Amino acid sequence: MSHYFDTLKEDYENAEISCLVLHNRKTDEWCNLLTIIELIPAEQQASPIIGTAASNYCDRESIDSNYTVYIARRIVCPIPEAIGFFQSPEKGILLQHDSTLNCLVTLFNESHLEAEPSSDYPLLVNWDTNDTISKILPKRHTSFRVWMKIDRRKKWLSGLTEKQIGKLLAKAGLLSQKHLGFNFSNRQEHMGNLYLCGCNPYLRGFNKTLLDLNKDMVIRFRERVGRSIIGKKIVLEDNRAGNISFSIEQTIGKRLERIEMPHFPDQLCTKIYDHRGHLIENHTGTWVNMNIQMNVQTAELHLTVKQGANSKKVKVPKYSSERPINIGTYDHSLARFLKEKQQDRQLAELERNGQFIFFPGGDEDRERARQAIQELLNKASKVCMLLDPYFGAPDLYYAYIIQNTSIPIQILSSAAFLKSKTEMQSGRKMKQGFLFKRALQKYKRTFPHQSIQVKVLLGGKSPLHDRYIVIDDKVYLLGSSLNEFGSRATTLIKIPHPQPMIGQALAWWNDSIKTKDLSTYLESLKPGK
């Protein structure tokens, strides 16, 4: 056992183990879906035990005739034993309570756990600022020291059918929401993982207050019973637009500590180290003005909302806003100025890369929007796909502006739009689909060597709502249809995770039941008057 882990038995009094377990009734194997081992400091109350003696101190949800998901908690475990479970989970994790709960949880046969961090020094995590790890951990008022063992591959899932995996996530989600406070099915990356955590062993919390023209910091430490923060080290750092302005290091001499700062901090980072030099607190916060606004309820509106054959009564409270009260005179002008300029540069960079462009609207913006799309389309090396439920004849402009005639073009429009009629210059009406076909034939005569295909999503209501452009393996979302893109306030956004949209687009494109090519679809329509 390493030196860091050796010190933990001095900091904590007990450990708790909470486990989500998959039980294979045929083989009687109990395999880890998620294990959270929490080191318990002085005076922290034990977590509630799960279940009763009648339920074997657990809760369960059946998946099918083979599998059941269980959740159980061991609330008394010696520190060395708990750390041993984390360090060597392949030997099994023992869940015990009274004489009823007695279960050895093992790993799946194809589990492959990797330590993070790779050393014995932990991550320091705050529940209110971290969204990746902390949301599955118990809610505490201080920082957590966290060690993880992560199964990235999750090969053991291949032993389950797709239906079983779906039920497993749903049932485990119900149990975790009920007993752990989060939905396991929404955080699938934690499947098969183990976590060892322990909150601040010396403090239940601490408060910071500004005094004397906002330059002096008073910190009130709330110590745990039998523990002292005296002699530990505190560091205050001011981060201004990404730069360190000051760093003050001081030994804590009393429970109400006053620290003089050179100036009012913009973003203050507070770190606390124990007597061994181990980091046990790391908080970053920004001081801002307080604005208090009171809302007074003046009435309550009763509505009846119809949903098909059903109706629902809804109460809507109405409020009036009283005069707001502002507190504080903090001036962040210089720091804010630097941050805003940095944000402006980041926005400009996003625009240059075509990742996010905002068009306020108007004639000039419409031309700028067309130019932006033209630049994106001409970056294609494999394929261009235009998905717009209102794609019609005028929008073939975007096919004309593609310079490389060897790039195949795929267009997906909708029957809901193409079967509608439009007024012709001669005064007669024609359906949009036939106008589109006429324009497409002209395009093919002009560029006979370029591959261009048009398919139509069937149905009275298009399953496609938003507008997308697929360029090779990249996807861009348009805030409006191509025919008026940029004429009103709208945006062009690069999708950060394009694969789901590309997969859906290809599924529509290759579905001969939901989608028809333009000529085949028009055979079922009459041209109109």
Give domain 203-289's CATH number out of 2.130.10.10, 3.50.50.60, 2.60.40.10, 3.40.50.300.
Answer: 2.60.40.10
Residue 71 CB-density burial (10 A; 0-12 exposed, 13-18 middle, 19+ buried):
buried
Q: What integer pLDDT is reported at residue 129 of this predicted model? A: 67
Nearest Cα neighbor of 283 from 481, 57, 125 is 125
Q: Report the distance separating Cα 71 and Cα 36, nearest Å.
A: 11
List the chain pLDDT tens, one digit each, 529 residues: 458 999 999 999 999 999 999 999 999 999 999 999 999 999 999 999 999 999 999 999 999 999 999 999 999 999 999 999 999 999 999 999 988 889 999 999 999 999 999 999 999 998 766 677 888 999 888 999 999 999 999 999 999 999 999 999 999 999 999 999 999 998 899 999 999 999 999 999 999 888 766 678 899 999 999 999 999 999 999 988 778 999 999 999 999 999 999 988 888 899 999 999 999 999 887 765 544 455 555 667 666 766 667 777 767 665 655 555 554 445 554 556 556 666 777 777 777 777 878 888 877 777 888 888 888 888 888 999 999 999 998 888 888 888 888 889 999 999 999 998 776 666 678 889 999 999 999 998 988 888 999 999 998 888 888 889 999 999 998 887 777 787 788 888 889 899 999 999 999 999 999 999 999 999 888 765 4
- Bridge partners (DSSP) of residue 292 are 325
Q: What is the pLDDT of residues 418-438, one digit of tens each?
A: 998 776 666 678 889 999 999
**Two domains, one topology: 203-289 and 353-522:** no
**Residues recorded for the chain:** 529
Q: What integer pLDDT is reported at residue 528 of this predicted model? A: 55
Phi-psi sector, 181: left (phi>0), alpha (psi -120 to 50), beta: left
Residue bearing tokens 């100036």 = 263
Upstream peptide bond of 463 is cis (omega within 30 degrees of 0): no
Q: Report the distance separating Cα 335 and Cα 51, nearest Å.
A: 53
Domain assignments of the chain as residue spans, ordered by start: 3-199, 203-289, 291-325, 353-522
353-522 fold: Endonuclease; Chain A (3.30.870)
Q: What integer pLDDT is reported at residue 471 of this predicted model? A: 92
Residue 253 is given by DSSP the state -
pTM: 0.63
Nearest Cα neighbor of 208 from 139, 269, 147 is 269
- Bridge partners (DSSP) of residue 268 are 238, 285
Q: Which helix (H) or strand (E) holds 161?
A: none
Residues 6+ apart with CB under 8 A from 371: none
Q: 120: which 2 tokens?
A: 């014995």
Q: Report the distance separating Cα 316 and Cα 227, nearest Å.
A: 51
Q: Are the C-beta atoms of 22 and 31 separated by less than 8 Å?
A: yes
Residue bearing tokens 């010396």 = 202
- Bridge partners (DSSP) of residue 37 are 17, 196
Q: What integer pLDDT is reported at residue 1 of this predicted model? A: 40
